[in-house]
Amino acid sequence: MIVAPTPQGIAEACRLLRDGHVVGMPTETVYGLAGDAYQDNAMARIFEVKNRPTFNPLIIHVASAEDAANLVEMSIEAQALMEVFWPGPLTFVLNRTKDCPVSLLASGGLDTLAIRCPAHPVAGRLIREYGRPLAAPSANRSMRISPTSADDVAVSLGDLVPLILDGGECEVGLESTILDLSGDVPVLLRPGGVLVEALEAIVGPIYQMKKESSPQSPPKAPGMMHRHYAPHRPLRLNATDCRVGEALLGFGEVGSLTVTLNLSVSGDLTEAAANLFRMMRQLDVDFYTGIAVMPIPSVGLGVAINDRLQRAAALEEKLNTFTHD
C-alpha cells in the first residue's frame, strides 16, 4: 500500500519496522526496501522479498554522521567527506565498531559496514522518528532495475511490502557512489551519484577497479576481496554425523545427533538465515577443529544460505565479481 509521508504514515511505518517488517522508503537516489538494521529477522525478510540468491551485504542508512560513529570506525578521510557530501548519494564502507549492534546478516557476516545518510527528507524523518539505522537495498526484485517512484516499488514488489512511503520521483535516479575506506587505500566499489573526481579533490587518489589508468597500483586487499565472510575453520557441508573435534551446526530435526547449535529447530529457512552468520562466528573458535553443517534444502532463502556455505567451504575462494542487485 502506498502511503503519504504524513506523521501518521511515518508512525505506521515505524510500527511495522519495530515488528520486523520491511517498508518502502524513498531516498534521493532510488527507493529502498528498509528494515530495522538491528533485527536479524528483518534482514532475512529483506533477502526473502528481494529474492536474491546470495546474501549481498546491505547499505545501512543513518540520519547523521554522529549516528554513523556508533556503528563504524571513523577515519579522518571519512569525516572530511561526510562533512561535504552528507546527507547525499555517497556510501562509505568502513570497519564495524567492536560492539556494533547492526545484524551480521545485514553485512553478509563481514567486519565492514556500508553506511550512508540519505538526503531525501522523508528518509531522514523516518530514520529519526524510528531512532535506529535502517538497512535498505534498492526496492526491486533481484536482477530488475531499481525503482525511482513509489509506483515502481508497488509494481516490482506488490503485496510483499505492507507499506510504501510516497516521496515522489527520486531526484538522482541513480544509486549512490560506494567508496571503501576500510583498507589502506581508498577504493571505488561503485560509481554513482557523487563523482569520483569530487572525492579525489578531498582525499587524493582513489583506486578504481575498472579504470586502466588508475592513479595507483592495485591495493593488496581491494574492498571487493573481502566482500564475503568465511570462517577460519574448515566447513563440511551436508553432514549427517559429527566427527571428533567438530562443531555440528544443525538444521531442523536432528534425530539422534547431538548438535552444537541449531539454525532453526523447526526447519524455518527465514530463522536459519537470521542465525547463520552469528552462529558460524560462535562456532569458529579454537575449541573446534572444524564446523560440520547439516543439509539445508535449496528452496527460498535456502538457496542463499547454501550459496554462502558453499563459498565459505571452498578452499580457494575465487574473487567475486559484482552481482547485479
Catalog residues that contact ligand TXA under the rule CB under 6 A: 27, 29-30, 32, 56-59, 89, 91, 93, 107, 110, 112-114, 118, 136-138, 175-176, 178, 189, 223, 227, 325
Helix or strand run (H / E) with residue 242? none
Shortest Cβ 190–ligand TXA spacing (Å): 6
Identify which of residues 27 and 275 has a Cβ nearer to Mg ion in the complex.
27
Q: Judge if the upstream peptide bond of residue 7 is cis by omega within 30 degrees of 0.
A: no
Identify which of residues 16 and 94 has a Cβ nearer to ligand TXA in the complex.
94
Parallel, antiparallel, or unpaired for β 187-190 and 290-293?
unpaired
φ, ψ (nearest 5 deg) of residue 273 = -60, -45
Residue 179 in 3-state DSSP? strand
| DSSP letter assigned to residue 110 | -
Identify which of residues 268 and 325 has a Cβ nearer to ligand TXA in the complex.
325
Q: Does residue 182 belong to the site contacting Mg ion (CB under 5 A)?
A: no
Identify which of residues 213 and 321 has a Cβ nearer to Mg ion in the complex.
321
Shortest Cβ 279–Mg ion spacing (Å): 27
C-alpha cell of 40? 536479524
Using CB distances below 5 to 8 A depending on partner kind, what does residue 246 bind out of Mg ion, ligand TXA, none? none
Using CB distances below 5 to 8 A depending on partner kind, what does residue 3 bind out of Mg ion, ligand TXA, none? none
Which contacts of 13-19 are long-range, i.e. CB under 8 A and separated by 24 or more positions? 13/126, 13/130, 13/163, 13/165, 14/126, 14/129, 14/130, 16/162, 16/163, 17/42, 17/130, 17/134, 18/130
Which 133-172 residues touch Mg ion, going by CB under 5 A?
138
List contacts with Mg ion (CB under 5 A). 138, 325
